[in-house]
Structure 1
């Protein structure tokens, strides 16, 4: 009896065998690998979600800035016959504007007509209500710089404070320059391209009621500044190409550009296009 009891206790106290230990280790490694994979996948999903949110915010901010100024295009204090004719409200250049004319007045812009980002200039009469005034209660341009009134021919004429805000995409940012001194300044980062389409009314409005947009043209097809088609612009459609702040993928992915073509990304960042159309309520009917 005593010998049987000793043998029973010996069997109860013996450890696991080597095959059992190896199987246990293998299962543990598989479970750990699965947990790490889930954790990595969750982290990658969160990073992608944060990147898409950042891209959406950048696009929303840039479109908001452009929409604000475009909605003012052509605005001026109600004029009478002594104040002259209404000036052009906006002009755009396909592929951008040459460096030596980007600071020049609208009529002197020289368009590059390339495949690069388009450029836009918006003109309206600035006042203390449609701009953020300075501490001295002066109207400002897109960068917050004060704008001097234009000289008048007669002392009794209403002084006009025209502002020409110039928008372009350079060095990965949407930039703006007002009519004053100083270079263009970045307003929104992570923007690589801006493509513009101009919505034209069917014909110079001769009937009552608002003119409807009949079709859209590229800046190149609109002609030079003096072309009568610029007076028929009733809407502006802008497509922006946004890039994520940081690289996210192991290899470059594809995206749809502003022309609807599939492109291969030059880097491992995410790329998306965002389009917005703005109506021009202040242009001549």
Structure 2
């Protein structure tokens, strides 16, 4: 094997059949899109930030192999939480054996569990809260409104978190995205810790809900971005299921069905990594061909599905694309 790219060479040589072959095909298809000048949307569902995908995803961003991101509110904030509180995280490798009493004990210690990893509430959530609240409040006082990710970019670029950094900045995908001011949509942001905190300030009368731009505004933002960037195609690389994938993929039928912009092209590539059980009628479990009937993918769109754990598959595909 070529010692300069051992991971890429290993995958190419030994991943020959079934899900392994699908992984290689999907990676090659992604590279083909980039070679043709197409742009790529990557959607992040699940707890990919807490799984520390940023260690490799940040480099994908730096090397311009990702052009827009769709992610859940949890992924938006948990990458930053890991940045400032990593040493306080607790790994629980025996998580499958925990009893309800064990889980309650973790709660009493302020440890919120995500599979085998516990996020420390005080060091992670509260450490961010005082700083992000000031940014929210300052924007409101100035009569300004921003998207959730724009507020997070401001937080990272302001420098106020620097004394708290506990990992190398190069391993934070949110910092890499903030540096590039990378386009991002975060549908359903309200369903996140920071979203809940923002809502609590609205209930207390300390912030106005209108200071935060809405999901509808995210969709119109995405519609404009898609229209402006689709001349050479836009691919869709979906990690997991849920709203992070379902929301952005719908921009295409919205553009040409509801806005009647019939010249709108379909997504030029589609790959989903998921261990969701394949099921017609299920958004996350539907096979790619079903998306043709919804006006999202075309007959000739390259389509791939890798039925496996995204924490294993995504880093391997990214390593292939980075020629590692």
| TM-score range normalised by the length of the shorter chain | under 0.3
Q: Select the structure that is richer in helix.
A: 2
Q: Select the structure that is richer in strand.
A: 1
Q: Which has the larger radius of gyration?
A: 1
TM-score scaled by length of structure 2: 0.25
Which structure has more relative contact order (CA 8 Å, sep 6+)? It is: 2
